[in-house]
């Protein structure tokens, strides 16, 4: 993991898509707990509603509509939300200390008061998650920090009637899913996602990137150019100090002084 949270302390979700019935209790529970306004939507020929995350919708069910081998209508459902990435692009680029931060449970949380509305986190997120509210401040799933801090499960997991959303210690959830022979998505991507999926098909079928990654330009800036710049800065300071300690301060050349004063 890119930062300091130990793997055994990390909490997260296992989302078993084979159990989801598309009831969207998770969406409603999230809105209720976080006191989010209803989104105005329109029928666009699909039961998927809303069709995208919004500043007031932190998790939603993506409907994957198609047909099966026998030509019958088939539906798959995916709970879409912030993945609480181990190596979080949003945190990497955020220039405002404390606007996006990691909790002791490994949650990528945000503090609206610290956000300076630069929107860098949007470009850096491999999953297109952060949205901006009316005040132009970041908004995304905080994994019900307040509930988790009080020993409760996030509102969405509590409301899910089929145990599609299982919340707990990440290591335990992954071990259980593996013993049930589930195919996992996100176990190791980006130093491990905080939301790991048990999928019934390839990730692309669910609209998930097969190999999620932080855009190269952001990696280059944050992991290569910036550390080299800092190294160069401290290297110069170190060289000056070394010179001072080993050779001493620069002395005025007496002869040169004399020449300048015309006493040759
Ligand atoms: S999914 Fe996007 S917003 Fe969430 S932690 Fe990862 S990079 Fe940040
Ligand atoms: S918009 Fe806010 S949270 Fe996003 S990178 Fe800028 S300061 Fe950080
Ligand atoms: S509450 Fe559970 S079963 Fe219902 S849509 Fe959400 S994840 Fe699926």
| pLDDT band at 264; cut points 50, 70, 90 | very low
Question: Is the Cβ atom of 162 under 6 angstroms away from ligand 3?
Answer: yes
Task: Indicate if ligand 2 lies below 6 Å from the C-beta of 108.
Answer: no
Could you tell me the strand order of the sheet in which 195-198 lies?
Answer: 165-169, 11-16, 195-198, 184-185
Question: Hey, how many other C-beta atoms are within 10 angstroms of the C-beta on 124?
Answer: 21
**Quick one: how far is CA 170 from the chain centroid?**
16
pLDDT in tens, 119-160: 999 999 999 999 998 888 999 999 999 999 999 999 999 999
Closest Cα to atom 1, ligand 3: which residue? 160
Percent of the chain scored above 90 by pLDDT?
A: 69
pLDDT tens per residue across span 79-124? 999 999 999 999 999 999 999 999 999 999 999 999 999 999 999 9
| pTM to 2 decimal places | 0.83
pLDDT at residue 249, rounded to an integer: 72
Nearest atom in ligand 2 to the alpha carbon of residue 90 is: 5
- The mean pLDDT of 36-63, rounded to a whole number, is 94
Domain 218-260 sits in CATH at 1.20.5
Burial string for 9-48 (b: 16+ CB within 10 Å, else e) reads ebbbbbbbbeebeeebbbbebbbebbebeebeeeeeeeeb
Tell whether ligand 2 has an atom less than 6 A from the beta carbon of residue 135. no
Q: Which atom of ligand 2 is nearest to the CA of 100?
A: 3
The secondary element (H helix, E strand) that includes residue 184 is strand 184-185
Q: Is the pLDDT of residue 194 over 60?
A: yes
Q: Which two tokens stand for residue 28?
A: 């409603």
Any idea which ligand is nearest the CA of 93? 2
**pLDDT reported for residue 111:** 95
Tokens 């150019």 sit at which residue? Answer: 225
Taking the CA of 75 as reference, the closest ligand is: 3
Higher-pLDDT residue of 227, 134: 134
For domain 7-214, the CATH architecture is 2-Layer Sandwich (3.30)
Contact 14, 174 (CB under 8 A): yes
User: What does the pLDDT average to over 180-187?
Assistant: 95
The model's pLDDT over 201-220, given as tens digits with 9 standing for 90+, comes to: 899 999 999 999 988 777 67
The pair of structure tokens assigned to 128 is: 């297109």
The residues, any chain, with a CB within 8 Å of residue 111's CB and separated by 6 or more, are 98, 99, 100, 101
**Tokens read off for 78:** 């995916």
Higher pLDDT, 127 or 234: 127
pLDDT at residue 236, rounded to an integer: 73
Give 68 Cα–ligand 1 centroid separation in angstroms.
32
Given a contact cutoff of 8 angstroms between Cβ atoms, the answer to whether 62 and 80 are in contact is yes
Cβ burial, residue 171 (10 Å; 0-12/13-18/19+): middle
Compute the distance from residue 92 Cα to the ligand 2 centre, in Å. Answer: 10
Residue nearest to atom 8 of ligand 3 (CA): 20
Atom of ligand 1 nearest to the CA of 140: 3
Substitution site in 14, 15, 24 for ligand 3 pocket (most atoms within 8 Å of beta carbon): 24
HSE value, Cβ hemisphere, 13 Å, CA-based, for 247: 8
On average, the pLDDT of the chain sits at: 89
As annotated, the residues of the chain forming the CATH 1.20.5 domain(s) are 218-260
Question: Cα(26)–Cα(20) distance, rounded to whole angstroms?
Answer: 11
Answer whether residue 263 shows pLDDT above 60.
Answer: no
Provide the Cα torsion 178, 184, 190, 191; round to 10°: 0
What residue ranges of the chain are covered by domains with CATH 3.30.70.20?
7-214
């Amino acid at each position: 993991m890119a930062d300091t949270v130990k793997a055994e302390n990390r909490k997260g979700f296992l989302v078993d898509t084979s159990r989801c019935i598309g009831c969207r209790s998770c969406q409603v529970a999230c809105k209720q707990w976080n006191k989010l306004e209803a989104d105005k939507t329109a029928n666009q020929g699909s039961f998927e509603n809303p069709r995208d995350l919004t500043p007031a919708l932190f998790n939603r069910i993506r409907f994957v509509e198609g047909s099966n081998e026998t030509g019958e209508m088939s539906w798959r459902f995916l709970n879409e939300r912030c993945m609480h990435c181990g190596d979080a692009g949003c945190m990497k680029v955020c220039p405002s200390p404390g606007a996006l931060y990691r909790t002791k449970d490994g949650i990528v949380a945000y503090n609206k008061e610290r956000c300076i509305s630069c929107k860098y986190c949007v470009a850096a997120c491999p999953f297109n998650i952060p949205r901006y509210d009316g005040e132009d401040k970041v908004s995304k799933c905080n994994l019900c920090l307040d509930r988790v801090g009080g020993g409760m499960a996030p509102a969405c997991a509590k409301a899910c009637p089929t145990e599609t959303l299982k919340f707990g210690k990440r290591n335990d959830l992954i071990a259980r899913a593996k013993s049930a022979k589930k195919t996992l998505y996100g176990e190791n991507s980006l130093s491990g996602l905080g939301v790991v999926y048990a999928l019934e098909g390839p990730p692309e079928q669910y609209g998930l990137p097969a190999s999620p990654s932080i855009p190269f330009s952001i990696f280059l800036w944050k992991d290569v150019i910036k550390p080299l710049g800092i190294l160069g800065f401290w290297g110069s300071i170190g060289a000056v100090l070394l010179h001072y300690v080993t050779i001493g301060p620069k002395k005025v050349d007496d002869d040169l002084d004399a020449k300048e004063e015309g006493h040759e």
